Structure 1
Amino acid sequence: MFRSTLAKMTESAAKRLKTESGALAIGTHNGHFHADEALAVYLLRTHIPTYASASLVRTREPALLETCHTVVDVGGEYNASRNRYDHHQRSFTTTFPGRATKLSSAGLIYLHFGKEIVARKLAVSEDNEQVGLIWNKIYESFIEALDAHDNGISVYDPKALEAAGIDKKFSNGGFTLGAVVGRLNPNWNDEIPADPVAAQEMEDKRFETASLRIGEEFDRDLDYYTKAWLPARKIVEEAYAARGQYDAEGRILVFEGQSVPWKDHLYSLEEEQPNSGKPLYVLYPEKPTPDAKWRIQCVPVSKDSFTSRQPLPEAWRGFRDEELDGITGISGGVFVHAAGFIGGNKTREGALAMAQKALGL
């Protein structure tokens, strides 16, 4: 009750001062903050020039929100023409193209401004094919998790898990994207300044910290997908097209220069070419030097799975060096993991021979 009363007292003081400054203002709600509006505010202020010097107004008072240029996660209105991006109204059903998860304020801002953000990072126009590719990828890999978290959508169907008798084997520590921001809120028994303006300023500082924290994670994803993931696509495409020279069914994929992030691209290529054989083993040098050792890695059934499409032979697992050579009949063996999902050889030829023998060739 005290915290609620304090918040109401603060509205007409600290917030009105900010909106009277003349600066373009972004409005969002005060009180307990969440990852979605923290990221929404960050994306606008950091990546969209219009909002580079925008002030922040955290309030639930309709009159104050109406003075803001843009409002996210509060106000009961979704109208992009008015720069209103709330998702809490009963009639709201908007999703990202091709996805089923209802959007939060993070998803709404990314839906409308994400292509501009990606295009600026790549220094190309928004209609560039690469922009759309990364726009979709970042939503699926990052933003959608925030949308689901804020809308109370579980990764798995709880009823299906219960029916199957599946329980968590251990705690993951709560380190979801939403939890990273959530734990920056004050504790229930933290001391609050008696002065309502000071109390609101303290809360706002916590929000600013949270916004920067989730923003840093977004920027890391943006850097990865534009600087590493995207350039890797062409390399994977070339290796995928050439795999028939090692096995008529295309079950061996070889990266000649160095390993690249290949899983996402491989699964995408398989979806685009459903009648083509699926690789079971991926070969690559440990580093881009002529004397590098080579790895043979089994393709997992899905990106995050520990189950391989075809593990290396059970008889090879857990052995190393000369002992492994004697079992495989292939010289230069380095190791085969006890779980059978990866192995190594001193040379490209040795790793290729291991892959072909594992396939029974």
Structure 2
Amino acid sequence: MAAVLEQAAKRLKTDITIGTHNGHFHADEALAVHMLRTHIPAYANARLVRTRDPATLATCHTVVDVGGEYDAAANRFDHHQRTFNTTFPGRETKLSSAGLVYMHFGREMISRKLGTSDHTDPTVNMVYEKIYTSFIEALDAHDNGISVYDPAKVAEAGLEKRFSDSGFNLGAMVGRLNPNWNDEIPSDPVAAQAAEDERFETASARIGEEFDRDLDYFAKSWLPARSVVETAFNERKAVDPSGRILVLKGQSAPWKDHLYTLEETVPENEKVVYVLYPEKPAPDAKWRVQCVPVTKDSFQSRKPLPEAWRGFRDEELSGISGIPGGVFVHAAGFIGGNKSYEGALAMAKKALD
């Protein structure tokens, strides 16, 4: 009986077909296909069909980004219909096919990565929400034509971009894998579709590589760092009574996201402004003093290192600061270094004044 069930399961996996549209492809369906085939076992051997033919799509087990229907129970994940307004829980950005697939299958992906079968585990949900806001949401916005900033408010403020960043995102990366307008197309329709599908598979693997890297990072690095940062946060007043200096002992760990979360109920005058950590996990390691940004993605620090120190190194820095062991302070004042923990701590304390 077990052998029969195993064979049936294999047939189910093999017989699954994912349908999406042919023609110009985008990041959202490329990622949606990758997430299903790479991270959901039932789709491991799924065949891909790229078409806009309704009759063919109707035969597919799962359809993404085409078909004009969103029905998770029927495995239909399109977002182009006029009535579609679905968003990820707690967010305002309308979902694309990538967001839809992630919303319904993301917890399973993360549970498997964390080695748990409990999809309701709080740590699963923490990573689930983090990956959406850090990776998936930008694809949803890009595909739905949603700007990072409100265009009306930007115009009202008279702001203009200093440079173009339109080619520096995942959507543009996938877009560049489409054929050029003047590329030669095979005269045989079957061969032409096969060539286009091959490009799509390349795009799906490429954006999938980026997603897999983020999934691995948030599950295996970012999540374990939370306890490290929380311990340092709870002990920070033993380092300095102000509570404004945080020390990561032993080695550095991803701290920004966790710090901002831990600070949500902390008074403004007790929020951390400097984070200290060794450059490497070794007794003789040099130490860094890093300023906490105003926001995670900001280049503006809550309190930059003193202007008089900026751009100086080594003995010259030590002479100016009056603190032995100086290594450097960046010209922008957001980070500096010292040969010892004691020196780095002295820099942070002096910079607080």
**TM-score, normalising length from structure 2?**
0.93
Q: Select 1:73's aligned residue among 50, 55, 65.
A: 65
Q: Is the 8 A contact 2:94 2:144 kept in 1?
A: yes
Moved more, 291-300 or 241-250: 241-250
Q: What are the superposed Cα offsets for residues 302-357 of structure 1, whole Å, 9 maximum, x if unpaired?
A: 11211110011112222222222222221111121221111111111111111111
CA RMSD of aligned residues (A): 1.4
Moved more, 90-99 or 333-342: 333-342
Q: Is the 8 A contact 2:166 2:172 kept in 1?
A: no
Q: CA 1:214/1:327 → structure 2, altered by over 3 Å: closer, same or farther?
A: same
Q: Select 1:269's aligned residue among 245, 262, 272.
A: 262
Counting only pairs closer than 5 Å after superposition, residues 169-184 of structure 1 correspond to structure 2 as: 169-172=162-165, 174-184=167-177
Q: CA 1:85/1:276 → structure 2, altered by over 3 Å: closer, same or farther?
A: farther
Q: Select 2:151's aligned residue among 137, 158, 162.
A: 158
Q: Select 1:293's aligned residue among 258, 283, 286.
A: 286
Moved more, 163-172 or 115-124: 163-172
Kindly state the Cα deviation for residue 161 of structure 1 after the two structures are TM-superposed.
Answer: 1.9
Q: Is the 8 A contact 1:270 1:276 kept in 2?
A: no
Q: What are the superposed Cα offsets for residues 236-266 of structure 1, whole Å, 9 maximum, x if unpaired?
A: 0000001111222210000110111111111
**Structure 1: runs of 5+ lacking an equivalent:** 1-21
Q: CA 1:99/1:274 → structure 2, altered by over 3 Å: closer, same or farther?
A: farther
User: Is 2:339 the partner of 1:343?
Assistant: no
Measure, in 1, the Cα distance between the counterparts of 2:271 and 2:148.
27
User: Is 2:33 the partner of 1:41?
Assistant: yes
In structure 2, the residue matched to 1:199 is: 192
Q: Which residue type is aligned with residue 250 of structure 2?
A: G
Kindly state the Cα deviation for residue 173 of structure 1 after the two structures are TM-superposed.
Answer: 5.8
Measure, in 1, the Cα distance between the counterparts of 2:269 and 2:224.
23
Counting only pairs closer than 5 Å after superposition, residues 98-247 of structure 1 correspond to structure 2 as: 98-124=90-116, 125-172=118-165, 174-247=167-240
Corresponding residue pairs, total: 339
**Structure 2: runs of 5+ lacking an equivalent:** 1-13
Moved more, 229-238 or 154-163: 154-163
In structure 1, the residue matched to 2:325 is: 332
Q: Which residue type is aligned with residue 82 of structure 1?
A: A
Kindly state the Cα deviation for residue 276 of structure 1 after the two structures are TM-superposed.
Answer: 7.9
Secondary structure, counterpart of 1:187 in structure 2: coil
Counting only pairs closer than 5 Å after superposition, residues 307-322 of structure 1 correspond to structure 2 as: 307-322=300-315
Measure, in 1, the Cα distance between the counterparts of 2:95 and 2:109.
18
Measure, in 2, the Cα distance between the counterparts of 1:322 and 1:143.
47
User: Is 2:38 the partner of 1:50?
Assistant: no
Q: CA 1:227/1:272 → structure 2, altered by over 3 Å: closer, same or farther?
A: farther
Q: Which residue type is aligned with residue 82 of structure 2?
A: R
Measure, in 2, the Cα distance between the counterparts of 1:340 and 1:128.
41
Q: Is the 8 A contact 2:29 2:97 kept in 1?
A: yes
Identity %: 73
Q: Which residue type is aligned with residue 181 of structure 1?
A: V
Q: Select 2:252's aligned residue among 248, 252, 259.
A: 259
Q: Which residue type is aligned with residue 129 of structure 1?
A: P
Q: Which residue type is aligned with residue 47 of structure 2?
A: S
Q: CA 1:328/1:229 → structure 2, altered by over 3 Å: closer, same or farther?
A: same
Kindly state the Cα deviation for residue 274 of structure 1 after the two structures are TM-superposed.
Answer: 5.7
Measure, in 2, the Cα distance between the counterparts of 1:196 and 1:273.
64
Q: Is the 8 A contact 2:68 2:78 kept in 1?
A: yes
**TM-score, normalising length from structure 1?**
0.91
In structure 1, the residue matched to 2:3 is: none
Measure, in 1, the Cα distance between the counterparts of 2:181 and 2:317.
59
Measure, in 2, the Cα distance between the counterparts of 1:324 and 1:206.
54
Q: Which residue type is aligned with residue 98 of structure 1?
A: G
Secondary structure, counterpart of 1:57 in structure 2: strand
Moved more, 29-38 or 337-346: 337-346
Measure, in 2, the Cα distance between the counterparts of 1:149 and 1:172.
13
Moved more, 51-60 or 162-171: 162-171
Measure, in 2, the Cα distance between the counterparts of 1:245 and 1:135.
34
